[in-house]
Amino acid sequence: MTDSELKTLKDNLWHAADVLRAGAHLAANKYGQPILGLIFLRYADILYKQHKAEIEAEYNKSKGTRAEKSIKDISIKYCGFYLPPEAYYTTINDAPDDANKATLVKKAMETIERENEKMDGVLPKEVYGQLVPEEEPELLSNIMRIFMDIPENISVDLFGEIYEFFLGEFALQEGKDGGTFYTPATVVRYMVEVLQPQNGEKKILDPACGSGGMFVQAVRFMHRHNKASDEVMKFRCYGVEKEPDTVKLAKMNLLLNNVRGEIVEANSFYSDPHNAVGNFDYVMANPPFNVDEVVYDKVKDDPRFNIYGVPKNKSKTAKKGSDKKETVPNANYLWISYFASSLNQTGKAALVMANSASDAGGSELEIRKKMIEEGIISQMVTLPSNMFSSVTLPATLWFFDKQKTQDAQKKDKILFIDARSIFTQVDRAHRKFSDEQIKNLGIITRLYNGDTQAFKDLIAEYTAALKAAPETSDDKEVKTKAYWQTQIDWLNERFPDGTYTDVIGLCKAATIEGEDGIRDQDYSLNAGRYVGVVIEDDGMTEDEFKAKILGLNTELTGLSKEAATLEKQIADNLKELFGE
């Protein structure tokens, strides 16, 4: 399936949400639940059919032997779940278009949960009764038929993309509330591009996992880099999420993308279900910013938070209406400490954080200072504004590398990238990274780490795309020769030797010591303080510049005289009207 065909399919499927809004007896923020449930049911039906021949062959081969396995066990091996016949999407779709369709869907969901312990309580059920209103009992049938357009030869990755597309669209519909469960995919893809997660017996943690997007993108990265499927299956994901409905979204997301892992419903400030300290190869998260009312006494002795120090108010005060217990100023540095302390000796982390945390003072400054001097912070990236549905101001990406603390050459350095001007406009209020912007930003880190071959490979990739691209196209989705040439020029102009170099306005490898170093900047981690600002060359000679300034001064003098004349005229008019 081409990118254009996939986009068309997504747009056509999104029509189901329009149909639902028009007829269902549901609140505006409840549309996502039944739609995502049907996407899961359709996915389960298609994946099971794709493996049905293998499942039946293995069952018949082992039948009657000492190694006999049940259809259920073999299905779980191939699909990750067992789909009983009464849950086949096509069977339910072919049933009469009446109110009983909701009962069939509900029973299908109940049966899947009963036969697959890890799905217990995850799938939507009762909500489908609201999709067969008396005035339009065929509504649910109409929606189900739309999802029949998903081709039965579709890959797991593309099905996952469809689920992710719907998550993103529902997040945009819900605005600020949508941001609590969804991090834009292009931001996550860039985080993964920097982390470069490896397959095998590895563990990744997200203690504020939302709908599980961090896990999905990490596994997709491995697939894109030709990791063997059996090796990818050894990669285990561990999430924590406190909102029950969001936990369900995450569990469906993992299953839809064939990702192995465990999502626990808990509050990460007060619960540690995965024994996090020193236990993970990777940590990725977009935690809620500026959370207050976290009780100081409940976290001060927790090693997840106190290795670098716990944020503390200057005076022991509590907000009006609270239980009067001392609280931390806000939880930003609790999260930051949590991620750093969860890494094993070779661990890496990537997290989204409020810009304000980069310059926070008081006890938070002391925590930041310890982390900088230890050497665990490897990279800071300032994002463009309007990348998130819930936050309009720019956020910052923090990257940790535990191995860096033992690297004498890099321990005292941090790579700063200012990406505020690198984005693709989606609509008036939202932005994203394009595929090439993700690669171009990612290559900065690769070059910084000495991977010059990755730069050559990327130039070769763009050159091949340039040769194959058309000169022009009326389809805005088609990338022309001019587009690919722009990508090549962007890279070559900034890194002409194919090696890392500081680029004013884009990137800077700053040291702790030295003039304008991190210590001189009061341990700020704001990229703008280090990378500088590009001063564009206006092409004028010194004489031309002098003449332009003198001309502007003459113009200003004339305008000032005119203003004085008008001022006197106004004063004279007022005097004439009202006297002295």
The reported pLDDT for the residue numbered 296 is: 92
Band the pLDDT of 273: cuts 50, 70, 90: very high
Candidate ranges 159-163, 302-306, 430-434, 477-481; pick with highest mean pLDDT: 302-306
Residue 28 pLDDT class (50, 70, 90 cuts): low
One-letter identity of residue 255 = L
Domain assignment of residue 475, yes or no: no
Give the model's pLDDT for residue 227: 57
Two tokens, residue 569: 């005229």
In this structure, of 364-368, 375-379, 455-459, 544-548, the range with the lowest mean pLDDT score is 544-548
Sheet holding 261-265, edge to edge: 261-265, 236-241, 203-206, 280-285, 343-354, 395-401, 377-382, 413-418, 507-511
Q: What is the pLDDT of residue 67?
A: 86
Task: Report pLDDT for 431.
Answer: 87
523 occurs within a structural domain: no
Q: Is residue 414 part of a domain?
A: no
Domain membership flag for residue 262: no
| Residue written as token pair 């860096």 | 404
480 occurs within a structural domain: no
* C-alpha dist (Å) from residue 296 to 159, 324, 340, 471: 44, 11, 19, 62
Q: Which pLDDT score is estimated for 274?
A: 96
pTM above threshold 0.95: no
In 3D space, the residue among 462, 455, 449, 441 whose CA is nearest the CA of residue 498 turns out to be: 455
362: left (phi over 0), alpha (psi -120 to 50) or beta: left
For residue 142, what are its two tokens?
């109409």
| Bridge partners of residue 380, in order along the sequence | 398, 416
pLDDT tens digit string along 102-155? 999 999 999 999 998 888 888 999 989 988 888 889 999 999 999 998 888 887
Check if the beta carbon of residue 168 is closer than 8 Å to that of residue 185. yes
Contact between 460 and 451 (Cβ < 8 Å):
no
Counted domains in the chain: 2
Average pLDDT, the chain: 87
Work out the angle at residue 381's Cα, subtended by the Cα atoms of residues 377 and 383, and round it to the nearest 5 degrees: 150
Instruction: Cite the beta strand spans of 419-459 per DSSP E.
Output: 424-427, 430-432
- Ranges 181-190, 396-405, 529-538, 560-569, most confident: 396-405
Give per-residue pLDDT as tens, 215-257: 888 888 877 765 555 666 678 999 999 988 889 888 888 887 7
CATH no. for residue 56?
1.20.1260.30
Please state, for a pLDDT cut of 70, what percent of the chain lies above it: 91
Distance of alpha carbon 577 from alpha carbon 335, whole angstroms: 68
pLDDT at 177: 47
Angle at CA of residue 283, ends 282 and 289, nearest 5°:
165
CA 328-396-190 angle, 5° bins: 130
Q: Is residue 103 part of a domain?
A: yes
Give the dihedral of Cα atoms 431, 435, 436, 440; nearest 10 deg.
Answer: 80
**At residue 181, does pLDDT exceed 60?**
no
CA dist 490 → 190, 439, 452, 459 (Å): 18, 12, 16, 10
- Mean pLDDT over 344-356 rounds to 94
Which of 27-31, 488-492, 550-554, 558-562 is predicted most confidently? 488-492
**Do 216 and 284 meet the contact criterion of CB atoms below 8 Å apart?**
no
Q: Quote the pLDDT of residue 29.
A: 63
Residue 320: predicted pLDDT:
54
Query: Which pLDDT belongs to residue 491?
Result: 97
Q: Which pLDDT band, with edges at 50, 70 and 90, does 502 fall under?
A: very high
Residue 580 domain-assigned (yes or no): yes
Calculate the alpha carbon distances from 235 to 253, 259, 273, 278, 279 in Å.
16, 8, 19, 17, 14
The pLDDT tens digits for 426-475 are: 877 788 999 999 999 999 999 999 999 999 999 999 999 999 999 999 88
DSSP 3-state helix, strand, coil percentages of the chain (rounded to 5)?
50, 10, 35
More confident residue, 91 or 543: 91
Tell me the residue range of the domain where 106 lies: 3-153
Cα–Cα distance measured from residue 511 to residue 517, given in angstroms and rounded to the nearest whole number:
5
pLDDT at 252: 86
pLDDT digit string, tens, across residues 389-423: 655 667 999 999 999 999 888 899 999 999 999 99
Contact 363, 320 (CB under 8 A): no
Residue 1 has what pLDDT? 67
Residue 63 is assigned to a structural domain of this protein: yes
195 has pLDDT over 80: yes
Q: Which two tokens stand for residue 183?
A: 């991090």
More confident residue, 7 or 473: 473
Model pLDDT, residue 178: 41
Average pLDDT over residues 547-557: 88
State residue 226's pLDDT score. Answer: 55
pLDDT at 229: 59
